Chains A and B, each alone.
Chain A
Amino acid sequence: MGKGGFHLETKDPIIKFAVVEKILNLARANSLWPMTFGLACCAIEMMSTAMARFDIDRFGAGIFRASPRQSDLMIVSGTVTKKMAPTLVTLYEQMPSPKWVIAMGNCAISGGPFAFEGQYNVVEGVDLLVPVDVYIPGCPPRPEGLLEGLMKLEEKITGTRRFPTVEQKW
């Protein structure tokens, strides 16, 4: 815990109830509520993921909330510019703990194609602003990619994976 504040998300609590925590985490992992936070091209793929064909609702993550105060997961889908950066940090701070961040797409990971010599307006990676749990590469990533990223996040929260991974044969 910090000196004057309650930064629960950065350090583990002093007293931990193992079984209760486990059950809570299972519940959290299966009902991640993402925030409607579309920045650029990746937002369209995020919307596609929420729609009928890919149906992110199967994993309990389909309830997109417009308010950061009602969401657990921030999917940074697109380029973060220096003008947008303070707003993004404010939104992150407004989310109640425990909270997670997915960096979707190359722009959110490292600035992507917009990180060139002499650039003046793009934050080269959202991890410079907020802690990121899962990175999903792609420009933009396919909806399957976002779903896989969600699995990875669930794995991080509960410690077990929902589905077995596909064996790579090459």
Chain B
Amino acid sequence: MVKKTLEDIKNTLKGVDASEISYAERGYHLAIEAQKGSLIGVVEFFADKGFYLADLCCVDYAEYLELVYLFNNFKELCRVKVTLKVEPDKPVAPTISHIYTMAHWYEREIHEFFGVYFEGHQKLTYLFLHNGIDCYPLRKNRVPVTDDDKKLLDSFKPEEEEDAFFINLGPQHPSTHGVLRVVLKMDGEYILSAEPVLGYLHRMHEKMAENRSYQQFLPNPARMDYPGALLFNLAHVAAVEKLCGIEVPERAQYIRTITCELNRISSHLLWIGAFLGDLGGLTPFLYAFDDRENILDILESATGSRLTYCYFRFGGLYNDIDDTFIDMTKKFIKRMHERLGMYEKLITKNVIFINRVRGIGILEQSEVPKYGCSGPIIRSTGMPFDIRKVEPYAAYDKIDFEIPTGKTGDNMDRYMVRMKEMEISLNIVEKAIEKLPSGPINAEKVPKKLKPPKGDVYHAVESTRGETGVYIVSDESDKPYRMRWRVPSFSNLMTFPALAQRTLLADAIATMGSFDLVIPEIDR
């Protein structure tokens, strides 16, 4: 199937340098080298074919800067990498933000971290950073920010306007779940426009990765997405394993699946509590945390920590699970099935809750590729896209499970999809425990100091919020040359300004709550 699509792409796109790549080694099927003149044509072609922009990042090779556009298709797996080389001094590239809405933010991010100008971009102002920073942080050599550029970056100021006023939602607000700031332009109770300002928790993970060896970076992913720490841990570990060609024993794969799914349930439970808390119901918060503590007990017995797990190692695990772990898990599954019934009675059938969420914050299915969002948000629009199914990792290909989908893509559907996902996760854990093979949990001959071969790799996992991808460029040293994190909340949040427009402030809070945002993940 993929072969046919690739042939199709190669035949249509004549005049650009396209080469097929081994998917098993690199994580993408096709690499295309575009020129400044041909880039727009190539991107338009992919937009027509229904591809979504999975990621857009920049790599500094000292002699030139390389922009990397990663495309994928929701209908069938076909990852394409398009690269564009730009000059290191005064780098300029054409914008693609009129084709893909999501590129608006990606390009702003690249502009402030690398200093690349995008011709035709409407608003190249600060998204993450602030005006106290005087050089482009992710450049390999120190490049100071010019005064002109600083003026451009610092030009976002909400100004007063007749019949409209501004509200700052955040950075300290109980329903932004952290330190997100949204500048709302209001007309009475209605929102005229919403403009998220990020970066209040930018902790330089990508910069840190370049300063540390692969092993030293192991604890970091857990700090990026703390409710679903294991899934981010897995994304990092699996990407490096793909790059080095390390085979992971089967038992370890199964244990990874079990612990990841438990973590997914605990993350969804946290979300239910926070979401209902935003809507004004504090009772479910207490119930959800009660269940969550049970999962934390189970995971603590294996991983040693309560929240920010660092459990997976390159080629295996930190330690094996024992019979107590399995007994506790079985007990929990039984308990959780009962509790899900209780949640149904307590929340799903609650009239006040239904009225607050049904028919509000509707995301159209046709809009999804423009934003490149993923996870429960797109499944709620009726698109059965799940990385666990299309690009199986760990032991997901050996376990049969279904993908829950919604119909309309409103807040209610997003809630229902997550509730069903918890049930399915319980089934996955149950099946994985039944099939759990015995054997070693660590691959043999994994060197203490990893020095992966030259090249790049992209690996994606389905985290609790959607597609989490790691793009690593290696230069044969023990540190990654560049590590880029494609995070789901970032692209999911991009839909918020569109969904919040012309709605009541209270409804916008409900929509934001239903997104399950984790701010350190957005800010990285």
Where the two chains meet, the residues of A that have a C-beta atom closer than 8 Å to any C-beta of B are 36-41, 43-45, 47-48, 51-53, 66, 68, 78-79, 81-84, 87, 91, 113-114, 116-122, 139-140, 142
Q: Which of B208, B226, B285 has the most CB of A within 10 A?
A: B226
**CA separation between A40 and B289, bound complex, in Å?**
18
Q: Which of B208, B227, B289 contacts A114 (CB 8 A)?
A: B208
Question: B200 to chain A: which residues have CB within 8 Å?
Answer: 81, 83-84, 87
Which residues, 214 to 249 on B, are CB-close (under 8 Å) to A? 219-220, 223, 226-227
B204, CB-defined interface residue at 8 Å = yes
Question: A38 to chain B: which residues have CB within 8 Å?
Answer: 177-178
B174 touches A79 (CB 8 A): no
B497, CB-defined interface residue at 8 Å = no
Q: What 0/1 pattern do residues 266 to 286 of B give for CB contact below 8 A with A?
A: 000010000000000000011
Which residues, 115 to 141 on B, are CB-close (under 8 Å) to A? 129-130, 132-133, 137
A52 touches B171 (CB 8 A): no
Extra inter-chain contacts (18) besides given A40-B203, A117-B211, CB under 8 Å: A36-B174, A37-B172, A39-B178, A39-B179, A40-B223, A40-B519, A41-B223, A41-B520, A51-B285, A52-B289, A81-B199, A87-B172, A113-B219, A113-B220, A113-B223, A120-B207, A122-B204, A140-B307
Q: Which of B171, B211, B220 contacts A87 (CB 8 A)?
A: B171
Min CB gap A56→B, angstroms = 12
B444, CB-defined interface residue at 8 Å = no
Min CB gap B217→A, angstroms = 10
User: How many interface residues does B have (CB within 8 Å)?
Assistant: 38
B308, CB-defined interface residue at 8 Å = yes
**CA separation between A119 and B137, bound complex, in Å?**
9
B290, CB-defined interface residue at 8 Å = yes
A121 touches B223 (CB 8 A): no
Majority-rule SS of B interface residues: loop
A51 touches B286 (CB 8 A): yes
**CA separation between A32 and B84, bound complex, in Å?**
57
**CA separation between A84 and B289, bound complex, in Å?**
28
A66 touches B174 (CB 8 A): yes
Where the two chains meet, the residues of B that have a C-beta atom closer than 8 Å to any C-beta of A are 129-130, 132-133, 137, 171-174, 177-179, 199-204, 207-208, 211, 219-220, 223, 226-227, 270, 285-286, 289-290, 292-293, 306-308, 519-520
Min CB gap B291→A, angstroms = 10
Q: Which of A84, A91, A140 has the most CB of B within 10 A?
A: A84
A121 touches B172 (CB 8 A): no
22 contacts between A and B (CB under 8 A): A40-B201, A40-B519, A40-B520, A47-B289, A79-B201, A79-B203, A81-B199, A81-B201, A81-B202, A82-B130, A83-B129, A84-B200, A87-B172, A91-B172, A113-B219, A113-B220, A116-B208, A117-B211, A120-B137, A121-B133, A121-B203, A139-B308
Q: A81-B200, A87-B172 are in contact. Are A44 and B208 (CB under 8 A)?
A: no
**CA separation between A82 and B171, bound complex, in Å?**
13
Q: Which are the 9 A-B pairs with shortest beta-carbon distances? A: A51-B289, A41-B226, A83-B130, A66-B174, A84-B200, A36-B174, A53-B293, A114-B203, A52-B290
Question: A45 to chain B: which residues have CB within 8 Å?
Answer: 306-307
Q: A41-B308, A44-B307, A120-B137 are in contact. Are A53 and B204 (CB under 8 A)?
A: no
CB-CB nearest in chain B for A107: B203
Min CB gap B81→A, angstroms = 29
Question: B174 to chain A: which residues have CB within 8 Å?
Answer: 36, 66
Question: A53 to chain B: which residues have CB within 8 Å?
Answer: 289-290, 293
Question: B201 to chain A: which residues have CB within 8 Å?
Answer: 39-40, 78-79, 81, 84
B286 touches A52 (CB 8 A): yes
Question: A37 to chain B: which residues have CB within 8 Å?
Answer: 172
A114 touches B204 (CB 8 A): yes
**CA separation between A47 and B306, bound complex, in Å?**
13
CB-CB nearest in chain A for B223: A41
**CA separation between A123 and B3, bound complex, in Å?**
51
Question: A121 to chain B: which residues have CB within 8 Å?
Answer: 129, 133, 137, 202-204
**CA separation between A36 and B270, bound complex, in Å?**
16
Question: B208 to chain A: which residues have CB within 8 Å?
Answer: 114, 116
**CA separation between A82 and B519, bound complex, in Å?**
16
Min CB gap B71→A, angstroms = 31
**CA separation between A86 and B207, bound complex, in Å?**
24
CB-CB nearest in chain A for B297: A53
**CA separation between A119 and B204, bound complex, in Å?**
7
**CA separation between A166 and B208, bound complex, in Å?**
40
A44 touches B226 (CB 8 A): yes
A84 touches B203 (CB 8 A): no
**CA separation between A87 and B178, bound complex, in Å?**
13
Q: Which of A68, A82, A116, A142 contacts B132 (CB 8 A)?
A: A82
Min CB gap A170→B, angstroms = 20
Min CB gap A58→B, angstroms = 15
B171 touches A120 (CB 8 A): no
Question: A83 to chain B: which residues have CB within 8 Å?
Answer: 129-130, 199-200, 202
**CA separation between A78 and B523, bound complex, in Å?**
14
Question: B130 to chain A: which residues have CB within 8 Å?
Answer: 82-83
Question: A51 to chain B: which residues have CB within 8 Å?
Answer: 285-286, 289-290, 293
Min CB gap B179→A, angstroms = 6
Q: Which of A43, A68, A118 contacts B211 (CB 8 A)?
A: A118
Min CB gap A143→B, angstroms = 8
Min CB gap A70→B, angstroms = 13
Question: B270 to chain A: which residues have CB within 8 Å?
Answer: 44
Min CB gap B2→A, angstroms = 39
Question: B223 to chain A: which residues have CB within 8 Å?
Answer: 40-41, 113
A84 touches B290 (CB 8 A): no
B204 touches A120 (CB 8 A): yes
Question: B203 to chain A: which residues have CB within 8 Å?
Answer: 40, 79, 81, 114, 121-122
**CA separation between A37 and B173, bound complex, in Å?**
8
Q: A41-B223, A79-B201 are in contact. Are A84 and B179 (CB under 8 A)?
A: yes
CB-CB nearest in chain A for B294: A53
Question: B227 to chain A: which residues have CB within 8 Å?
Answer: 44
